[in-house]
Amino acid sequence: MRYTKHEITAPGDSYLNDPYGLRRFATERTYKPSPLPYTRMVDLADLQAKKANLKKTSTNVLLEDGSVVIEERTSDGNFVRRNGGTSRRAGFVIDLNPDLQIAECCEGLFLGSQDAARELEQLKKLKITHVLNVATGIPNFFPNEFTYKLIEAFDLPSMRLIDYFDEAAEYIQRAINAGGKVFVHCNAGISRSSTLVLAYMMKVRGFKLEAALEAVRKNRKIAKPNPGFMQQLLTYEDQISCSKPTNN
């Protein structure tokens, strides 16, 4: 029997016309793009409706003078303030009066705040010759009148003020040995400056920490090193004790 080209052609692709089945393969491998991930379109009207249903809030702000203002956000996103009266809540009270006290802690050594550091006539009256400034952002007000030393320290428990104890004590003692008087101040005259005064009294004058603190507070009742500084003073007290020669 004789076969013709037409007779041997099977349904589908012809072997003779496509001996390797490339057309069939290409058809089976036709690229089908992956569907894009579903993304929800933002409905502006829906968004505005939800915004309109948001609960309005207000914030009470306590000012330094004890007055209260109420802050509220308007529909356009801005803030408005209105008077909220005077707060009667218990809490700290900021004393806006200047602290002009210059307290003598021991012979030749005085302690106070930055307010007192501005009082030229008062400093001269006490015959101050040297100033130890332990504040941040407070300038040496009268460089032509006094000898200054600046130790910029933050009133933070983590601040290593102990690294400056010896340096401060030596500065104070040199001034006193030369017949001078030293005024030590920070911002408030409570923590940083009192810490360096206590360190000096322990290192040079031989005070124990408890006795030095008692002596300082006789004239400067608000003197109070922060907890971190107190711990450093205790460490310093131990270092001083260990450095003293022992009698065999």
How far is 173 from 212, CA to CA, in rounded Å? Answer: 16
Q: What is the pLDDT averaged over residues 113-119?
A: 96
Per-residue pLDDT tens over the stretch 151-169: 999 999 999 999 999 999 9
By CB neighbour count within 10 A (0-12 exposed, 13-18 middle, 19+ buried), where does 94 fall? Answer: exposed
Q: Tell me the per-residue pLDDT of 46-65, one tens digit each, with 9 for 90 and over.
A: 767 776 666 666 676 665 45
Paired tokens of 36: 């894009």
Cβ of 59: how many Cβ atoms within 10 Å? 11
Give the percent of the chain with pLDDT over 90. Answer: 57
How many residues appear in the chain?
Answer: 248
Residue 248 confidence class, pLDDT cut points 50, 70, 90:
low
State the catalytic residues.
186
Q: Of residues 223 and 12, which shows the higher confidence score? A: 223
Residues linked to residue 60 through DSSP beta bridges, in sequence order: 70
Q: How far apart are CA 173 and CA 207, in angstroms?
A: 15
pLDDT higher than threshold 90 for residue 125:
yes
Residue 67 near residue 83 (C-beta atoms within 8 A): yes
Average pLDDT on 211-219 reads: 97
Identity of the residue numbered 146: F
**Distance, CA of 115 to CA of 92 (rounded, Å):** 20
- In 3D space, the residue among 236, 206, 189, 233 whose CA is nearest the CA of residue 106 turns out to be 206
CA distance 120 to 172: 20
Structure tokens at 139: 């300038």
Q: What is the pTM of this model?
A: 0.62
Is the per-residue pLDDT at 10 higher than 80? no
Q: Is the pLDDT of residue 30 over 60?
A: no
- CATH code for the domain defined by 102-243: 3.90.190.10
Q: What is the pLDDT of residue 45?
A: 72
As beta bridge partners, residue 68 has: 62
Residue type, 181: K
Q: Which two tokens stand for residue 99?
A: 């602290």
Would you kindly state where each structural domain of the chain is located, as residue ranges? 57-96, 102-243
Per-residue pLDDT, 197: 98
The pLDDT mean for the chain works out to 81
